[in-house]
Structure 1
Amino acid sequence: MANIFDVASYILESIGTSSAMKLQKLAYYSQAWSLVWDEEELFEEDFEAWANGPVVRSLYNKHRGMFKVSADVFPEGDSDNLTDEQKDTIDKVLEFYSDKTAQWLSNLTHKESPWKEARGSLEAMDNCNEIITKASMAEYYSAL
């Protein structure tokens, strides 16, 4: 199975250098739509409901302190670990979301149930490491 670094590498190989925040959101939407369209997870790692939207902690730990990232930041990632179907799903996500800014994507996640439910009654900028469940993602995005 592919992991978050394989997906991050594929996204960055496809769109080029990106902000770290935008990469996290594109990975989030890739996972969400894979759960809906392919009925399977794209990668095992979970997203946490951070103040600026969904974040995979292991990916964050690799790009911590960087504003811009490129595929070479994640040498452990190998886009060849993705199936053609997985690449097609990510391509569709990128086609729709990649022209959006990181802030726009973050704002969008803040309006959607999976992130809001994981955060509960926390204030907007409170720290939170609650998991956004794949079940909540699949349920929400399949209804759109």
Structure 2
Amino acid sequence: MTTAQDGRAVANFILDYCDGRGRKVTNLSLQKIIYFCHVWSLIELNGPLVRHKFEAWEFGPVLPYLYRAFRNYDRAPILGRATYIDPVDGVQRVAEYEFNFEIESLLRETVEFYSRLRAGDLVELSHVEGGPWHSVWNHMGNVNPGMMIDDTRILKFYSKVRAPFAIQ
């Protein structure tokens, strides 16, 4: 079982990993990559990666606070890092990360695979018919304020899907 992380720290890991390999990451692709990291954490590590819920937005699953952190980049590659306001001294700081071996291994394998895909392909993968985003976005009946994508819904769908990479 994993301990859920701050999405800003996970995002910074993804950005650092991709920078180290010369891969450009936009806000749109970052949202999808972190979503798939969360998906495979639920399946492979039996727990959520990110402690916040994803919302179903037009172009797929989104962590709203992370979207806001990078919205100024629009469609350009992200050059900065996610920050937070330190509650003790009120200073804005870069969200640092330090993950255990299991989480870091999962992140490396997941990011390695998904960061090679175009943003449009990532959107398509996250929009798969019958998948968590699709069922929330096209809901019938129950109202879902905030269009939250519940981890139970993610588990139900992706537990039947094989990871497209090998986790060490």
Q: TM-score, normalised by structure 2?
A: 0.76
SS at match of 1:64: helix
Q: Greater share of helix residues, 1 or 2?
A: 1
Q: Which structure 2 residue ranges, 5 or more long, are not aligned?
A: 84-93, 162-168
Give 1:121 deviation, angstroms: 4.8
1:69 to 62, 70, 78: 78
Amino acid at match of 1:94: V
* Residues 50-69 of structure 1 aligned to structure 2 (within 5 Å): 50-66=57-73, 67=75, 68-69=77-78
RCO comparison, higher one (Cα < 8 Å, 6+): 1
How many residue pairs end up in the alignment?
Answer: 137
* Residues 18-33 of structure 1 aligned to structure 2 (within 5 Å): 18-33=25-40
Greater C-alpha radius of gyration: 2
Aligned Cα root-mean-square deviation (Å): 1.7
SS at match of 2:127: helix
SS at match of 1:54: strand
Q: Which residue is 2:15 aligned to?
A: 12
SS at match of 1:18: coil
Give 1:85 deviation, angstroms: 1.0
1:139 to 153, 156, 161: 156
Q: Which residue is 2:96 aligned to?
A: 78
Matched, 1:118 2:125: no
Runs of 4+ aligned residues of structure 1 deviating over 6 Å after TM superposition are: none
Residues 15 and 81, structure 2, Cα contact 8 Å, conserved in 1? no
Rounded Cα–Cα distance in structure 2 between residues aligned with 1:129 and 1:58: 13
Rounded Cα–Cα distance in structure 2 between residues aligned with 1:65 and 1:121: 31
Rounded Cα–Cα distance in structure 1 between residues aligned with 2:65 and 2:116: 25
Q: What fraction of aligned residue pairs are identical, expressed as a percent?
A: 27
SS at match of 2:72: coil
1:39 to 35, 46, 70: 46
Give 1:111 deviation, angstroms: 1.1
Cα distance change of structure 1 residues 83 and 103 upon mapping to structure 2, 3 Å threshold: same
Give 1:116 deviation, angstroms: 0.7
Rounded Cα–Cα distance in structure 2 between residues aligned with 1:40 and 1:27: 15
Amino acid at match of 2:82: F
Deviations 1:74-101 (A, max 9, x none): 1332122x22211111111122211101
Residues 132 and 157, structure 2, Cα contact 8 Å, conserved in 1? yes
